[in-house]
Amino acid sequence: MRAALMVLFAVVPALAADEALPEAATILDRYVEVTGYPGPPPIDAIRGDVVSSVSGDPVAKLSTSSDLVNRMWSIGIWGQRGNFLSIPTDCPQRDERLGWMGDAGVFWRTGSYNFDIAAFSQKFIQDITDAQNRQGAFTNVSPNALPSSADESEEAPPESDRIGAPGWGDAGVIVPWTTWVQYGDAAVIEQNWDAMQRWMDFIQSRNPDFLRKNGVGPNFADWLAPDENTNKELLATAYWALIAKMMSQMAHAAGKEADAKRYDDLIGNIRAAFQKAYIRDDGEVGTGTQTSYVVALYTKMAPEALEPLLVDKLVKDIEVRNWHLSTGFLGTPFLLFTLADHGRTDVAYRLLLNDTYPSWGYMLVKGATTWWERWNGDTGDPSMNSYNHYAFGSVMAWVYRYAAGIDATPDSPGFKEIVIHPHLDARMSAARLEYDSIYGKIVSDWKGTPAGPFLLRLTIPANTSAKVFLPAIAGAHLMEDGNPVEAQAEKGSYVVRVGSGSYNFEVK
């Protein structure tokens, strides 16, 4: 009888049964030392099994006309499998393997599309609240395994590792909010409301002028941005506004109207302080980095009348860099959303489909099979350079929600009323996304360009409805299964509301 050796790989993600092996997968070779085996072992004497907390197939399956985007989806699946093991580690392959909150916060929306992580989210949120200190501060790492030279008293220095940095500690709000939006279970709000409020109170008590300068821990700012000049306090203040908005939305959902008003008032105060401190009349924001413009626009800190100026300056900076991004961990998740929401979907796709440095495609051109920690992982500092960090993989939330066009909103969490809104560009002429929501499978399968024609095959599961956005092509006719359809005009689109079922929409 042939002896069999079993090796458990906790660090090498597995392919799903229907996934092809990427050409660059050979760089993931691992070595096994075998002793005591009678003779040279044949290759089939060893079986490698992946250990991961996200078992089974992804709940999102994506295919597009862009081979680059398809490969981006695949390496994101690999990276999440490798890092979601009991906790969401920042990387699985070196002597860190910690639940870094900043990585989790920016990635959680993408991760909740990739796999069903409802239960995993509950467990990690418990780790977050368990690590919260007596002052009410969330930490940079959960569970908090980092050494700290400071205690948790009021005299502890602001750089203490016990105080989470902006974007890192804020994951204590971002992860519960994301879990609620994606899965629709308001229990996550009730169970963690007190902990989240303590974090919000911690921030406000140290920043009575509504500019987030104090209580920021080891402020990491826009981590690993090619342009490192973003003002730290500006970025911190914008993230404060971001989580205040999330708190307001969760308060409304939980029937806590007094709290909702309090957070709405807080947002107004932060906006007034932000505008006075960081926005000039000519539309210049802070130090003029891409991240400065992105967070000001995304969190609606800028006066509405100045938004076109900010968008123009953002696009100009991208153009000056030969149509490349310069954002880091905290700015990147909102970059493509900001562009698309302000009429520059063309620039969003241009960044998405780049394959020169710095870009997502650059990693793939260089052989990446999971997301890199740095945009320049091939040339960056070898002392802190991971080839399996999922933070920049946050871009796939835009692909799922805006390119493929399946979205859930705080107004109807858990995909009760689904938003179907493909954002089109001539450089990617087709996308198909199947997403297994808590109500069942949603399918958005479209082909077309902004100039038309456009075809959308749609599946909406039972007990749900959908608000469907179709391109408003001049002189075109809107049909469903060959029959004319009445639609309302909204923001340059035709809008149709439908119930559960299968649909074939055509704009021609």
Which residues are known catalytic residues? Answer: 96, 373
Q: Residue 400 in contact with residue 386, Cβ under 8 Å?
A: no
The torsion of the CA quartet 125, 130, 134, 136, rounded to 10 degrees, works out to 0
Instruction: For 336-390, give the DSSP string.
Output: HHHHHHTT-HHHHHHHHT--SSSSHHHHHHTT-SS--SSTTTTTS-GGG--S---
> CB 430: neighbour CB atoms within 10 A?
15
State how far the Cα of 168 lies from the Cα of 160, in Å rounded to an integer. Answer: 13
SS3 track for 31-86: CCCCCCCCCCCCHHHEEEEECCCCCCCCCEEEEECCHHHHHHHHHHHHHHHHHEEC
Residue 284 in tokens = 């210049």
State how far the Cα of 240 lies from the Cα of 328, in Å rounded to an integer. Answer: 18
State how far the Cα of 156 lies from the Cα of 407, in Å rounded to an integer. Answer: 43
Q: Residue 290 in contact with residue 319, Cβ under 8 Å?
A: no
Q: Residue 106 in contact with residue 333, Cβ under 8 Å?
A: yes
> CB 73: neighbour CB atoms within 10 A?
23
State how far the Cα of 423 lies from the Cα of 470, in Å rounded to an integer. Answer: 9
Estimate the crossing angle of helix 290-298 against helix 307-320, to 10 degrees: 150
State how far the Cα of 322 lies from the Cα of 315, in Å rounded to an integer. Answer: 11
Using DSSP's 3-state secondary structure scheme, residue 94 falls into coil
**Sequence-distant (≥ 6) Cβ neighbours of residue 204 within 8 angstroms:** 266
**Sequence-distant (≥ 6) Cβ neighbours of residue 310 within 8 angstroms:** 283, 285, 293, 296, 297, 302
Q: Residue 132 in contact with residue 198, Cβ under 8 Å?
A: yes
| 453: preceding bond cis by omega (within 30 degrees) | yes
Using DSSP's 3-state secondary structure scheme, residue 91 falls into coil
State how far the Cα of 91 lies from the Cα of 387, in Å rounded to an integer. Answer: 8
